[in-house]
């Protein structure tokens, strides 16, 4: 039985270099080793930046130590928010570098595309190249692009292209410029709450917009055991059913799409109660492993899933079978 990691982050060196040349967020200050994501929201890097950049034997050794057999590498946030010309350049360079890594370690790494989303035509071409030429298995995107969001209709062609190409979309959190999350540092704005609220809002808007009725073959992944949504789904179904409004386009309850089009990983959520809730609501067949390396302690994530009370069949589904059905490897 293999352990497949669907959320394993990296940077090609061109990403922090591009951020270090910027005069508006996101900015990476090499001297202080801090990324400014928005005014008043800064993230010290410490071990994170060198770990993101380590994609060679050091990462393979780390995976071996933890028993992670295959990792889908995905670019961390930043390039989608750059100016269009820089975004195109950096995304193409990152995808090319990732392709070289998948060739060097063909049994260990799979690729997930980063796209210059603010140029739709360039993104469509890049995604097609990543899938057809590079063999990538996913499009990795984020809950917002600074001043726009994936649920904006202008991005619908990208989701259609992903479905047409037979790859899944991983919707990863990104910091929001919502002023309600400012004043308490990166923690509240990011992993403590802001990440979850921004991502759950984006995926809910996508569902309500009717995207999965329009593109029924589309699969979207959420991390963190579904960004708290399994806990809320029954109430959301009930309230949206009770208070019908014209802008809601989806044909069925929200929970229908979570059991048909939306999958989750365990990444960054090591609560056995949250896991049980997610398993009860969505089913074990909707859950995969993700380490969230290096933003979470991957060793703790592996230990967490090892300690879960699962049948042999359920464990095999969580570790490999659910993922293999999507990546077709």
Single pTM value for the model: 0.96
Instruction: Return the HEC string of 85-150.
Output: HHHHHHHHHHHHHHHHHHHHCCCCEEEEECCCCCCHHHHHHHHHHHHHCCCCCEEEEECCCCCCCC
Instruction: Write down the residue that tokens 């057999």 correspond to.
Output: 69
Average pLDDT score over residue span 108-137: 98
Both tokens assigned to 97: 């570098």
> What is the pLDDT at residue 329?
46
Per-residue model confidence as pLDDT tens digits over 139-157? 999 999 999 999 999 999 9
Per-residue model confidence as pLDDT tens digits over 89-112? 999 999 999 999 999 999 999 999
What residues contact 322, with CB distance under 8 A and at least 6 apart? 263, 284, 285, 286, 287, 288
Nearest to 13 by CA among 104, 58, 79: 79
Q: What does pLDDT average to over the chain?
A: 95
Per-residue model confidence as pLDDT tens digits over 170-223? 999 999 888 888 888 888 988 999 999 999 999 999 999 999 999 999 999 999
Residue 10, pLDDT > 80, answer yes
Nearest to 305 by CA among 225, 194, 212, 192: 225
- pLDDT level of residue 40 (50, 70, 90 thresholds): confident
> What is the pLDDT at residue 70?
98
> What is the pLDDT at residue 267?
96
Instruction: Write down the residue that tokens 């980063």 correspond to.
Output: 114
- pLDDT level of residue 248 (50, 70, 90 thresholds): confident
> What is the pLDDT at residue 272?
96
CA angle 322, 326, 329 (to 5 degrees): 100
> What is the pLDDT at residue 13?
97
Q: Give the integer Cα–Cα distance in Å for 5 and 14.
A: 24
Q: Give the integer Cα–Cα distance in Å for 181 and 196.
A: 12
Cα atoms found within 13 Å of the Cα of residue 203, Cβ hemisphere only: 34
Average pLDDT score over residue span 13-21: 97
Per-residue model confidence as pLDDT tens digits over 274-315? 999 999 999 999 999 999 999 999 999 999 999 999 999 999
Average pLDDT score over residue span 43-48: 94
Structural domains in the chain?
4-327 (3.20.20.140)
């Amino acid at each position: 039985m293999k352990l497949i990691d669907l959320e394993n982050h990296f940077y090609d060196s061109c990403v922090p270099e591009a951020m270090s040349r910027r005069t508006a967020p996101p900015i990476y200050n090499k001297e202080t080793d801090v990324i400014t994501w928005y005014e008043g929201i800064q993230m010290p890097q410490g071990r994170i930046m060198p770990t993101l950049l380590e994609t060679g034997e050091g990462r393979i050794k780390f995976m071996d130590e933890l028993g992670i057999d295959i990792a889908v590498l995905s670019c961390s946030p930043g390039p989608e928010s750059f100016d269009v010309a820089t975004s195109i350049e950096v995304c193409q360079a990152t995808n090319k570098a990732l392709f070289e890594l998948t060739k060097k370690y063909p049994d260990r790494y799979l690729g997930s595309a980063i796209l210059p989303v603010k140029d739709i035509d360039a993104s469509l071409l890049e995604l097609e190249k990543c899938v057809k030429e590079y063999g990538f298995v996913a499009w990795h995107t984020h809950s917002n692009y600074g001043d726009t969001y994936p649920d904006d209709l202008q991005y619908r062609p990208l989701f259609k292209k992903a479905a047409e190409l037979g790859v899944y979309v991983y919707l990863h959190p990104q910091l929001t410029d919502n002023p309600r999350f400012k004043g308490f540092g990166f923690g509240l704005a990011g992993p403590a709450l802001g990440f979850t609220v921004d991502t759950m809002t984006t995926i809910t808007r996508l569902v309500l917009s009717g995207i999965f009725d329009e593109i029924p073959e589309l699969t979207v992944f959420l991390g963190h055991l579904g960004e708290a949504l399994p806990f809320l789904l029954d109430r959301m179904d009930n309230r949206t059913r009770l208070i019908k409004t014209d802008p809601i386009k989806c044909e069925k309850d929200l929970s229908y799409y979570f059991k048909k089009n939306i999958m989750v990983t365990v990444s960054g959520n090591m609560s056995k109660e949250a896991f049980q809730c997610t398993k009860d609501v969505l089913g074990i067949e909707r859950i995969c492993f993700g380490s969230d390396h290096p933003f979470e302690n991957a060793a703790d994530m592996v230990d967490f899933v090892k300690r879960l009370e699962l049948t042999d069949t359920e464990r095999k589904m969580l570790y490999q079978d659910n993922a293999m059905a999507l990546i077709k490897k």
